[in-house]
Amino acid sequence: MFNTGATGFMLLATSLVMLMTPGLAFFYGGLAGKRNILGIMMQSFVSMGITTIMWYVCGYSLCFSGDAMGGIIGNFDKAFLNGVDLNSPFPGNKGIPEFVFMAYQMMFAIITPALITGAFVNRVTFKSYLLFLVLWQVLVYYPFAHMVWGGGLLARWGVLDFAGGIVVHATAGFAALASVIYVGKRRDKESPPNSVPLIAIGTGLLWFGWYGFNSGSALDVNAVTGLAFVNTDVAASFAAITWLVIEWSFAKKPKFVGLLTGAVAGLATITPAAGFVTLNSAVMIGIAAGLVCYFAVNLKNRMGWDDALDVWGVHGVGGCLGTILLGVFASKAANFSGHNGLMYGNTHFFAKQVIAVVVACVYAFVFTYIMLALINKITSVKVTETEEDKGLDESIHGEKAYDEGVL
């Protein structure tokens, strides 16, 4: 009944996307100060548990079942995975079981709120983060997942997002900016990364997992799958080297963390376009990612926004840039099920991409800020000065990443 090759590939892609959340934990854990390693890593790992429970209870249904509120969100027809059994095929590709599609999409839901945590490292209580994790998915992630990927409002309007430029990176990046503005600055902004090798391990895992993130979004095994795979690698590589060269020209030294950050910026930026543009366009997108995201991080610094791990500059700006450049470079020659972009005279599609990503960013920013204010009425969002000075690993979690004799 099912295509074993496609099903096996989608299970592999699902596993790769799952690996990205621990990879993100290593990436953020290395960037964090030595007293806040476990706190930031735990925020990623706890999403794996809580989001899975939510996805089983109602998340999958609200994203991929029916239509409510004019196409803004789904309904509860598939709550508790009702009707999703061993023999039910995924409607978008009847060659794979719906169970597999459900699991694949669950991994996206897990990592998206975890991306935000790098912005407010060592400033947010664990209780408030747990509430934030639940509410943000219900009020921000689920609606956009449905509108773009679940056949909702934006999908019907003709907006494209191959693997998450709008749904994942733009929403998470601008939610991160709202979080930074709400919680304020760190008391110790000079805290350096505790482990560059840990950052490198995290980057490697993210880059590796991103092949499943983007290639798997073809939801089949075909030429588009291969195109998304190669575009992902090429864009990340060009972005990494572009960032390295720019930073080298200013700092007069080649920075390893800059190279790694540039790679992640390229990966985030190619995500919405990976299966809709040609390889040459992926090169241009990678170069643009390294250039624009580098200067976005510098703008953040000049504005005084204490986005500790540059979530807005890398993921927010990268996701927006990739979505807009998809509107420019999209080509039916690359994927006949897509659209032609501005380069081929399609101004309407370009305009739709721009409007959609602006709406997503504004929505995510405003709802996140309001959400944090409401959560603060239930439990304190920001840690005390004593807890921040001591570090969240010990003050909140009662653990330390390293034995004292090592540091």
**Rounded to whole angstroms, how far apart are CA atoms 231 and 223?**
12
- For residue 396, which phi and psi values (nearest 5 degrees)? -105, -45
Residue 170 has, within 13 A of its CA and on its CB side, a CA count of: 29
Average pLDDT, the chain: 96
Q: Is 248 exposed, middle or buried (0-12, 13-18, 19+ CB in 10 A)?
A: middle
Query: pLDDT-derived band of residue 79, with 50, 70 and 90 as boundaries?
Result: very high
**Rounded to whole angstroms, how far apart are CA atoms 406 and 384?**
27
Q: Where are the domains of the chain?
A: 4-384
What's the fold here for domain 4-384? Ammonium transporter fold (1.10.3430)
- pLDDT score of 187: 86
pLDDT in tens, 353-375: 999 999 999 999 999 999 999 99
Query: pLDDT-derived band of residue 153, with 50, 70 and 90 as boundaries?
Result: very high
Range list of H helices, 123-278: 126-136, 142-149, 153-157, 171-183, 196-215, 223-251, 256-270
> CA 171, 305, 315, 128 torsion: positive or negative?
negative
User: Can you tell me the mean pLDDT for 226-235?
Assistant: 98
pLDDT over 70 (residue 231)? yes
pLDDT in tens, 254-286: 999 999 999 999 999 999 999 999 999 999 999
pLDDT over 80 (residue 403)? no
pLDDT over 70 (residue 105)? yes
pLDDT over 80 (residue 189)? no
For residues 53 and 120, is the Cβ–Cβ distance under 8 A? no
> Distance from first CA to last CA of the chain, Å, rounded?
57
pLDDT over 80 (residue 387)? yes
Query: pLDDT-derived band of residue 402, with 50, 70 and 90 as boundaries?
Result: confident
pLDDT in tens, 173-182: 999 999 999 9
Residue with tokens 């023999």: 87
Encoded tokens for 274: 């990976």
Encoded tokens for 208: 């590796």
- pLDDT score of 404: 65
* Those residues with Cβ within 8 angstroms of residue 322's Cβ, 6 or more apart along the chain or in another chain: 165, 169, 268, 269, 270, 271, 272, 273, 285, 289
300-313 CB burial, b ≥16 within 10 A, e <16: beeeebbbbbbbbb
pLDDT over 60 (residue 406)? no
pLDDT over 60 (residue 161)? yes
Encoded tokens for 51: 């989001």
Percent of the chain with pLDDT over 70: 99
- For residue 208, which phi and psi values (nearest 5 degrees)? -60, -45
- pLDDT score of 268: 98
- pLDDT score of 86: 86
pLDDT over 60 (residue 185)? yes
